[in-house]
Amino acid sequence: MTGRGRPAPHRGEVTGYLFKLIRESIPLTQEQLAVDLDVDRVTVQSWESGRRPFTAVPLGQAIAVRRRLGRLGANTVLLAALDDAAEADLIIAAVLDEQMDRCDIAEQPLGWSVLTHRLTDLILWAVLGQTPAFARGLPIARPRRGPVASGPTLPVDEQRAFFAHLHVLAERAAAGRHRNVLLHRQACFLSGMDPHQGSGRMAHPDHRARPPGNHLPHLVTAVARRTLRRHVPREPGRPGTAAGLHRSRTPRRRLRANSPQLLGLLGGRDPVPSPRRLLHARSAR
């Protein structure tokens, strides 16, 4: 994403380190695994170091390699995280785009890829050096000579650039007429992990102290309130206010996300009910 419509270069730090852990869980050396995968040792070494990112491997070959690793007895937990590791590398590469102030933010993976706990852990593994929960307590591989990396941690300058670019992304996503809410929320959430930031949180009216993910309950609440205000008969003496929706603490609690009253209005099925169903449920009470 070095420009509008052009993809960012591939990165493979997270995928490569996870690939190394998968190989060691079998356990096999790079030479032995290369023979089983029908590739040369340099290819395996390049995948693990990130010099030749595994994310750049054609899809068919990547699927075949993953199946072969499973047949060789690789750790199933590590193997299941391989897809998220590739997505983490994709997000990191996009955020580290040097032209962040001019790139097309519609192409940013954070705008359409939901941050799960595992995906977030994998990203923070690279930018903070925090070992993911699923990777802790794994059997220790045979000791090797020389220094060995303890994770796919990025250089310090790239770590700082990552968080600085997140601020730029959040500001650009919140600006203009067509705001990218998911991109803004997730950029704010990740930027709050910056250990060098005083408050650890970006101040913005749309930001909340909750991880991004399923925002459907909050969307449903807003839709329900708007629909009721438009279609419930107005109360005499209160122009512009729907009956039963006075701006007091009690009625407001009734329409909070996941409340029994709201779930009753929605019938437990449709996330965005029709106005007729809302009116019927309201009058039945």
SS (H, E, C) 21-63: HHHHHCCCCHHHHHHHHCCCHHHHHHHHHCCCCHHHCCHHHHH
pLDDT band at 103 (very low <50, low <70, confident <90, very high): confident
- Which residue stretches of the chain are H helix? 13-25, 30-37, 41-49, 59-71, 76-80, 82-95, 117-127, 156-174, 181-191, 216-231, 249-254, 260-266, 275-284
Q: What is the distance, to the nearest Å, from the Cα of residue 203 to the centroid of all Cα atoms in its chain?
A: 20
Residue 220, in any domain of the structure = yes
**Domain boundaries, position 276:** 216-284
pLDDT band at 71 (very low <50, low <70, confident <90, very high): very high
Mean pLDDT along residues 173-201: 84
DSSP annotation of 255 reads T
Report the distance separating Cα 248 and Cα 223, nearest Å: 19
Residue 226, in any domain of the structure = yes
pLDDT digits (tens, 9 = 90+) for 226-279: 544 544 455 455 454 444 444 444 444 444 444 444 444 444 444 444 545 545
pLDDT band at 31 (very low <50, low <70, confident <90, very high): very high
Report the distance separating Cα 235 and Cα 48, nearest Å: 68
pLDDT digits (tens, 9 = 90+) for 132-141: 998 887 765 5
Residue 239, in any domain of the structure = yes
| The pLDDT of residue 226 | 52
Residue 6, in any domain of the structure = no
| The pLDDT of residue 149 | 75
| Residue 3 phi, psi dihedral angles, 5° rounding | -175, 175
**Total structural domains in the chain?**
1
| The pLDDT of residue 157 | 95
Residue 40, in any domain of the structure = no
DSSP annotation of 134 reads G
Mean pLDDT along residues 180-209: 73
Residue 266, in any domain of the structure = yes
Residue 67, in any domain of the structure = no
pTM of the model: 0.66
CA within 13 Å, CB half, 172: 21
**Residue 100, Ramachandran bin (φ over 0: left; ψ between -120 and 50: alpha; else beta):** alpha
Beta bridge partners of 6: 3
DSSP annotation of 193 reads T
| The pLDDT of residue 84 | 96
Residue 231, in any domain of the structure = yes
DSSP annotation of 4 reads T
